[in-house]
Amino acid sequence: MSTPGWTTEKPTALLVLADGTVIEGKGIGATGRTQAEVCFNTALTGYQEILTDPSYLGQIVTFTFPHIGNIGANDEDIEDLTPAARRGAVGVIFKADITDPSNYRSAKHLDAWLKARGVIGMAGIDTRALTAWIREHGAPNAVIAHDPNGDFDIEALKAEAKAWSGLEGLDLAKEATSGQSSQWTEKPWVWNEGYSELDAADAKHHVVCLDFGVKRNILRLFAGLDCKVTVLPATATAEDVLAQKPDGVFLSNGPGDPAATGEYAVPVIRNLIDTGIPMFGICLGHQMLGLAVGAKTEKMHQGHHGANHPVKDHTTGKVEIVSMNHGFAVDAKSLPADVEETHVSLFDGTNCGLRIKGKPVFSVQHHPEASPGPQDSHYLFRRFVNLINEKKGEPALAER
């Protein structure tokens, strides 16, 4: 893999892969070092939303778009539910240096924002070469290190990278979850108006969200459809959920290995399926629903990360461009006969959706809430609300 020629300037950041490869760069963001998996994201916009997506916990995000940071950072474009805990990507890699922000919504320089969140980063490397390497060899375990003086023990960093066990078998949902019960009423952002709140008197349905690392925009879209949302921690029991008397249950996105999180979450999901309550899952929630119905999950070679992925909805025959962020997938061949595959990736044919025949239960692998990304899949939230309406005997919403 090619690396930039730092012949006249001492490197202040290193990316050390588990195979011993050392990539030099310019340090940005927080100082220190951390072990993580390296992935690449092909989105052209939304870097702040990407870096605060809890599904990226345990990962270093390489942006394929070369110019990151030119619109700065603000307090609105964050996706983790409890930003003070800084759940999201632990490292970041850019091609170009961060420029001064030029946007009316900017409140802080991205470098300062990365420092405040404790995200270690590096710039000045050939991100296309790194992306090509990942596509060929798979997402590597690595250590990213930033020292303003450029003082590194390279052999020690190589040993750390090699020793890290990786994401397989790792339950990160307990770190990503907000860890406590809360209510959500904020509705989607509107141009020149910002966010508004759902009035309690306007709430038509009550949705309980099992928070494995939920994104804010998911909860906003529920509120925008007049759903009051109660957020429960990842370790909540079926009894905890049912005590809320929900009209529907949502299984959220999140990081880590679904099989590891599923050790405590899958029995809960199975119990909830048996109640007949409408259920909707996204990302990690989709994977664990797959496990709950008897399917298997598998680690992907490089994962799907970006906002330009084509997915076909078999229920409508339409192709959507969607936002993706996952490194594990449900093995479609392992789905039982009473479960239908509803969505499939047109990039590699991997499973992107399922539903249980005869039950009001479905899920998707991609991120229909976008943020960032296209809004082609927003209809899925209406599809879920319509399952609730059907159970209540109320009129259906138009899906699109």
Do 121 and 224 share a structural domain?
no
pLDDT interval class at 84 (50, 70, 90): low
Q: Is residue 4 part of a domain?
A: no
Annotated catalytic residue 369: yes
SS3 301: strand
User: Is it the case that residue 9 has pLDDT exceeding 90?
Assistant: no
Judge if 197 and 225 occupy the same domain: yes
Choosing from 283, 320, 326, 366, the catalytic residue is 283
pLDDT over threshold 70, residue 2: no
User: Pick from 163, 189, 223: which residue ends a domain?
Assistant: 163
Query: Given this model, what pLDDT does residue 319 score?
Result: 98
Residues 216 and 73 in one domain: no
- Asked whether residue 398 is assigned to any structural domain, the reply reads no
- Assigned domain for 116 exists: yes
Assigned domain for 218 exists? yes
Range of the domain at 17: 13-163
Is pLDDT at 181 greater than 60 in this prediction? Answer: yes
367 is known as an active-site residue? yes
Same domain, 144 and 262: no
The answer to whether residue 277 sits within a structural domain is yes
User: What is the reported pLDDT for 62?
Assistant: 98
Say which CATH number the domain at 318 has: 3.40.50.880
Q: Quick check: is 286 catalytic?
A: no
Question: Does residue 145 sit in the same domain as residue 48?
Answer: yes
What CATH number does residue 32 fall under? 3.50.30.20
Residue type, 5: G
For 101-135, write each residue's pLDDT tens digit: 999 999 999 999 999 999 999 999 999 999 999 99
* Statement to judge: residues 158 and 232 lie in one domain: no
Q: Which of 146, 343, 367, 378 is catalytic?
A: 367
- Give the number of domains in the chain: 2
Residues 320, 216, single domain; the answer is yes
H or E element that contains 352: strand 351-356
- Residue at which a domain ends, from 163, 196, 220: 163
If you average pLDDT over residues 24-45, what whole number do you get? 97
The overall average pLDDT reported for the chain is: 95
Catalytic residue (choose from 37, 160, 320, 369): 369
Domain edge (last residue) among 106, 130, 163: 163
